[in-house]
Amino acid sequence: MVTVEEIKNAIAKHKLELPRYQKLYNYYIGKHSILDRKLPDETKL
């Protein structure tokens, strides 16, 4: 039988992993963070 304490620990661990899950989901749908980067303008050097 699963205790209340074990459930609370599982929920707490899950909450810590939410940013990672969101990043993985974004990769899955094609929203890669590297695509949002801004490169310096080469013509202004």
Domain boundaries, the chain: 1-32
Give this prediction's pTM: 0.61
- The confidence band for 23, taking pLDDT boundaries of 50, 70 and 90, is very high
- The confidence band for 26, taking pLDDT boundaries of 50, 70 and 90, is very high
Is residue 32 within 8 Å of residue 26, measured between CB atoms? yes
pLDDT surpassing 80 at residue 27: yes
Q: How many helices (DSSP H) and strands (DSSP E) are in the chain? A: 1, 0
pLDDT at 22: 96
Kindly state the DSSP code that residue 30 receives in the 8-state scheme: T
pLDDT surpassing 80 at residue 28: yes
pLDDT surpassing 80 at residue 44: no
pLDDT at 33: 87
